[in-house]
Amino acid sequence: MLFRKGNLNRERFERMAFSVYDSLYGTALRLTRDREEASDLTQETLVRAYEAFDRFDGRNFKAWMLRIQTNLYINRYRKRRREGLTTALDDDDVHLEPVAPPAEAPDRMMLDNLIGAEIEDALAQLPDTFRLAVVLSDIEELSYDEIAEITQVPVGTVRSRIARGRAQLRKILAKYAKDQGYIREVSAE
Amino acid sequence: MNEKQIQVNRLADGDLTESESSELKAELTNDPNLASELEWAQCLKQQLKEKCHTVGCQQTWQASLLRLDAIDKTKRAEYFVGKYAWAVCGVFLVALVSAAVLNRMNPTRHLTETQVAGLFNSFRAEGGSATRGTVVDPFPGGPPLTFQSFYRVSSAENGFADGHEAVRFRVDDGRGGFAVIYVSKASGVEGFSGTNAFRLGLINGQRSVTVRHGEGLLMVMGDRGFDELQEEILRLINR
Closest by Cβ to B40, choosing from A22, A114, A170? A170
Contacts of A108 in chain B (CB under 8 A): 43
The answer to whether residues B22 and B64 belong to one domain is: no
Q: What is the pLDDT of residues B160-207, one digit of tens each?
A: 776 778 888 888 888 888 888 888 888 888 888 887 788 998 887 888
Helix or strand run (H / E) with residue B146:
strand B145-146
Q: Could you tell me if B162 and B201 lie in one domain?
A: yes
Q: Are B97 and B117 in a shared domain?
A: no
Q: pLDDT digit string (tens) for B106-150?
A: 666 677 666 665 665 555 554 445 555 566 666 666 778 888 888
Which has the closest alpha carbon to B2: A131, A95, A153?
A95
**How many residues comprise chain B?**
239
Q: Which of B2, B28, B38, B64 to mutate to test the interface with A (most CBs of A within 10 A)?
A: B64
- Judge whether residue A4 has pLDDT over 90: no
Interface test with B, best of A25, A131, A160 (most B CBs within 10 A): A25
Give the residue with greater pLDDT, B127 vs A170.
A170
B129: three-class secondary structure by DSSP: coil
C-alpha to C-alpha distance for B179 and B168, rounded to whole angstroms:
7
Report whether A114 contacts A182 (CB < 8 A): yes
All CATH 1.10.10.10 domain ranges of chain A, comma separated, are: 91-180
**pLDDT of the residue at A184:** 57
Instruction: Give B12→chain A minimum CA distance, Å.
Output: 10
Mark yes or no for CB contact A98/B63 under 8 Å: no
Last residue of a domain, one of B38, B71, B106: B106
Answer for the pair B162, B119: CB distance below 8 angstroms, yes or no.
no
What is the pLDDT at residue A115? 76
With a cut of 60, say whether residue A142 has pLDDT above it: yes
Interface test with B, best of A162, A170, A171, A187 (most B CBs within 10 A): A162
Residues B40 and B152 in one domain: no
* CA atoms of A66 and A42, how far apart (whole Å): 10
Distance from CA of A46 to the nearest CA of B (A): 7
Same domain, B74 and B47: no
CATH assignment of A2-80, among 3.20.20.20, 3.40.50.1820, 1.10.1740.10, 3.40.50.620: 1.10.1740.10
- pLDDT attached to residue A162: 95
| Measured distance CA(B146)–CA(B139) in Å, rounded | 14
Q: Does one domain contain both B85 and B197?
A: no
Q: Using CB atoms, pick whichever of B43, B49, B67 lies closest to residue A106.
A: B43
Question: Which domain, by its residues, includes B30?
Answer: 3-51
Query: Which among B5, B60, B68 has CB closest to A50?
Result: B68
Which of A106-110, A118-122, A171-175, B92-96 has the highest mean predicted lDDT (pLDDT)? B92-96
pLDDT score at B19: 92
Q: What is the ipTM of this complex?
A: 0.77
Q: What is the phi/psi pair of residue B212, to 5°?
A: -70, 135
- The per-residue pLDDT for range A32-65, each reduced to its tens digit, is 888 999 999 999 999 999 999 999 988 899 999 9
The topology under which CATH files domain A91-180 is: Arc Repressor Mutant, subunit A (1.10.10)
How is residue B2 annotated by DSSP? -
- Binned at pLDDT 50, 70 and 90, residue A100 comes out as very low
Residue B121 CB neighbour total at 10 angstroms: 7
Number of domains within chain B? 3
Return d(Cα A176, Cα A110) in angstroms, integer. 10
pLDDT, average across residues A120-130? 91
Q: Parallel, antiparallel, or unpaired: how do β-strands B135-136 and B216-222 relate?
A: unpaired
What's the rounded Cα separation, in Å, for the pair B150 and B132?
7
What count of CB pairs under 8 Å joins A to B? Answer: 137
